[in-house]
Structure 1
Amino acid sequence: MPVPVPRQRAVPAAETAHGSSSPSTSPGVSPSVSSSGGDLTLLVIEDDPAGTFSVPELLDAAGTRVRIRSARNLTEAERLLTDDVHCILVDLALPGAGDEELGPLNHVLRLAPRHAVLALTTSGDAERAAEAVRVGAQDHLFRDELDGRLLSRAIRYAVERKRADTAQVKLAESRLRAQENARLERGLLPTPLLQGSDLRFAARYRPGRSRALLGGDFYDTVRTPDGTVHAMIGDVCGHGPDEAALGVELRIAWRALTFAGLCGDELLSTLQQVLEHERESEEIFATLCTVDIAPDGRRAGLCLAGHPTPLIARHGRAAQLLPYDDGGPALGLLPRARWPRRQVELGGSWSLMMYTDGLIEGRRGPGEKQRLGQDGMLEMVNRQLAAGLDGEALLESAVAEVRELNGGELTDDVAVLLLSRNGSRR
């Protein structure tokens, strides 16, 4: 014989379960509850003609009011699961939930994954009660031991435990995302292989504000056995883990193909094949800039695939963009595209800056609509060169000023690579 929960005080009919007019919530919506107290709502799902839960609310020792809402089956429970429900008490003996031993409970856990859930059974079914907690219920209650004080305490405990469990899951997810970001960053932004070269290397990467994960910007620099220094910088369109992973694949493929002796159009054509096989959709493309610097450091070959042309600063002269009018399209846009390699003279002492378009797409000033563009970037870099900046300091200042001109964080990633040569060393 079920023991009725003792009546503590009556409430207006508008506050009872069947008089509620709260809008329905989706299964993914988490109920709002303060950890410091506040009224709670319990949804009871049981088919009990004797009316075990016959009162509209309880009042616990701490003064917390617990409203009770009753449903006789899972279909009715789904209708009553509104956004003010904090805890669900489900009878494990409830019929109509399939042949599973814990069918009613599993149905509720799927229906309300972010709600606290209590399992109701008899003391003679302790094994099933323990299994209910193992599969996801916050606690279990025995019908033949139930009273109002025990119930109100169990509800509060279940709600707080669910909040703690949810916080723990979010913390674990945050740590996993941080680990994934670190792995992606190591793949996108590697350590250069320049042993034996007299060139100096510097790089900066700053993620945009539009997402937590890295985007698709990537770069690399290696020296092949013949003394040639190869550098590249690229950008996969879009933001997120898929684009970042594709950027890692393209960078690794570029390094392998470069060590295999490919260069210019042959290398870019092969990279396009990699992109076409690995991208999620045909709309995904990547821009790329590659430079191969001769062993004497005085000249280089340049290929552009829809990417901004590098900037060069020669000793005693203002920085300027490398001339390049006949670059090819971005990788992945045209199936039989070609990327001509242009020979450029570098001189004795120089600094070559390669960058992604995030550096030039910010605003010229706070509140302005005009983009910084390549001309604005040139003016900025020349001011910094005139102030005596170079290497790491130059890149740090450039990225910081671009952000300041934009009036805050940039929406796109910024990757910048700087190779420098002091001709007096030779």
Structure 2
Amino acid sequence: MAVPVPRQRETPATESAQAAQAVLAAQLPAAPHATTPQASLTLLVIEDDPAGGLTVPEILDADRHRIRLRTARNLTEAARLLTHDVHCILLDLSLSGTGSTAGGSRTAVVDELATLREVLRIAPGHAVLVLTAEADAERAAEAVRVGAQDFLFRDELDGRLLSRAIRYAVERKRADIAQYKLAESKLRAQENARLERGLLPNPLLEGSDLRFAARYRPGRSRALLGGDFYDTVRTPDGTVHAMIGDVCGHGPDEAALGVELRIAWRALTLAGLCGDDLLATLQEVLEVERPCEEIFATLCTVDISPDGRRAGLCLAGHPAPLISRPGRRAQLLPYENSGPALGLLPKARWPRRQVELGGTWSLMLYTDGLIEGRIGDGKERLGQDGMVEMINRHLDEGLSGEGLLEASVTEARRLNGGELTDDVAVVLLSRAEG
């Protein structure tokens, strides 16, 4: 026997707008038991007995506002009436399947839980209550396992019980949605982290006597990858090639472009390109792959001879590396006659400068995120001179390798008064002559 439901008048537009705002707020991941003041609830009842109505005079919510009723005699009507201002659905488990007629014909009866599953499919964001006879308690419990928020027995139904059940179902659905979104967000964050870790470079230095260290800190919140990029490989002739670069901007598009440029650099280097030819080809890659013509990238490349005593240096709008040697103060390598950033000038040239390294040395490549942090509360920035002074101080303290890089990035953050807003990448190559 279906529960008769009284026919309701149309809801005024102002009330519908208020209810729509309430349900939109309810579907956001808010506190599980938060309520929206001055917003009455709307209940959609799905039952196929056209004869009568609920045997309670009215249904009130916690604030003594009348809960508004809508009725549908089949799932087709329910889908039409399922607007944003509906908060909860009450489904009669004796309802016929989607083939039911307005007169309640049972010629196309389907399993009651199949009907519930269809309701859950067309209303994934709505709380659902099921109504059944007390003798069908097991079926009612199964309905909750399928996805309903709660069940009610016809013989025990009254206004107070139904009102409480509606409020509970709406709040529980809200909590379920919030929990689902939280779990989904965590899974997406873990997946993104695994992907980004896979895109970070794995230096290829087998057979080289050089030591390698790096620090990478993206400027984007909760990101592992930014627009800065670096790599190091050793070619079959024994030459060690290192590079570091910076795509202008801080978004995911810039990070993706940085990965493309790094992979292209590695492929071109292993194919035998170097210096101006390599940078010219990388510029072609950037021009094809960049999302807009305003995007450019700075780059520093170093190729270290097999004996480790000399290097070729190319700069494309990038800060010059810093070199330190025993018994001497760390200093910047010469940067005169450097070329423009990639993507700025067509057919640009990038001269390669030969640099004498010596027997024992450390060479630090870095992006401008390390030197553009502020010093204290003023507008003054660390700058290259401040960075050189900072590195020399850490060297005097006996720091080297990973420890030197970690101390330098940490101090830059401290001087900035907090997290650095730009991406930071630092690479350190060292050689000790035996």
What is the TM-score when the length of structure 2 is the normalising length?
A: 0.75
Q: Does the 8 A contact of 1:309 with 1:354 survive in 2?
A: yes
Residue in structure 1 matched with residue 230 of structure 2 by the alignment: 219
Residue 327 (structure 1) shift: 2.0
Q: Aligned pair in 2 of structure 1 residues 3, 361: CA closer, same or farther (>3 Å)?
A: same
CA drift of 1:225 comes to: 1.1
Change (3 A) 1:21 1:170: closer
Task: Give CA-to-partner distance per residue, 1:109-160, whole Å, 9 cap, x none.
Answer: 5xxx4xx43267889xxxxx99x999x9645868967824366336524532
- Residues 284-293 or 146-155, more deviating: 146-155
Q: 1:232 deviation in Å? A: 0.7
Q: Aligned ranges for residues 160-309 of structure 1 at < 5 Å?
A: 160-188=172-200, 190-208=201-219, 210-309=221-320
* Letter matched to residue 195 of structure 2: R
> 1:23-422, aligned counterparts within 5 Å?
24-25=20-21, 29=25, 30-31=27-28, 34-35=31-32, 42-45=41-44, 52=54, 55-57=58-60, 68-70=67-69, 78=83, 80=85, 87=88, 109=124, 113=125, 116-118=126-128, 138-139=148-149, 147-148=157-158, 149=161, 152-153=164-165, 155-157=167-169, 159-188=171-200, 190-208=201-219, 210-365=221-376, 367-422=377-432
Partner of 1:287, secondary structure, is: strand
Residues 43-91 of structure 1: per-residue CA shift (max 9 Å, x gap): 22359895648524157xxxx988623457989875746xxx6x45589
Secondary structure of the 1:357 match is coil
Q: Which runs of 5+ in 2 are unaligned?
A: 7-11, 72-77, 102-114, 134-139
Q: What is the one-letter code of the residue matched to 1:243?
A: E
**What's the RMSD between the two structures over aligned residues?**
4.3
Offset from partner CA, 1:219-269 (integer Å, 9 cap, x none): 111111111110011122333433323222221221111111001111112
The answer on whether the counterparts of 1:234 and 1:356 sit within 8 Å (CA) in structure 2 is: yes
Question: Do the aligned partners of 1:358 and 1:410 also contact (CA within 8 Å) in 2?
Answer: yes
1:26 to partner: Cα distance: 9.0
Mapped contact 1:42–1:89 kept (Cα < 8 A): no
Q: 1:80 to 1:273 in 2, by over 3 A?
A: same
> Structure 2 vs 1, CA of residues 239 and 184 (structure 1 numbering), >3 Å: closer, same or farther?
same
SS class of match (1:359): coil
Q: Which runs of 5+ in 1 are unaligned?
A: 7-15, 96-100, 124-128
C-alpha displacement at 1:103, in angstroms? 9.3
* Deviation of the 1:170 alpha carbon: 2.2
CA 34–397 in structure 1, closer or farther in 2 if over 3 Å, else same? closer
Cα distance, 1:257–1:90 mapped onto 2, change above 3 Å: farther
Aligned residues between the structures? 393
Identity of aligned residues (%): 57
1:158-181 CA distances to partner (integer Å, 9 max, x unpaired)? 532542353234223323322322
Q: Scaled by the length of structure 1, what TM-score is found?
A: 0.76
CA distance in 2, matches of 1:416, 1:378: 14
Letter of the 2:41 counterpart = L
Q: 1:11 maps to which residue?
A: none
Contact 2:3 2:53 in 1 (8 A): no
Counterparts of 1:413 and 1:65 in 2: how far apart (Å)?
55
Shift of 1:340: 1.8
Distance 1:152 1:193 in 2: 66
Q: Secondary structure at the match of 2:259?
A: helix
Shift of 1:355: 0.7
CA contact (8 A) 1:218 1:248 kept: yes
- Cα contact 1:285–1:330 (8 A) shared by 2: yes
Aligned partner letter, 1:409: E
Q: Measured at CA, do residues 65 and 279 of structure 1 come closer, stay the same or move farther in structure 2, by a change above 3 Å? A: farther
Report the CA distance shift for 1:141/1:267 in structure 2 as closer, same or farther (over 3 A). same
CA separation in 2, counterparts of 1:49 and 1:337? Answer: 84
221-230 vs 44-53, which deviates more?
A: 44-53
Shift in CA distance, 250/38, structure 1 to aligned 2, threshold 3 Å: closer
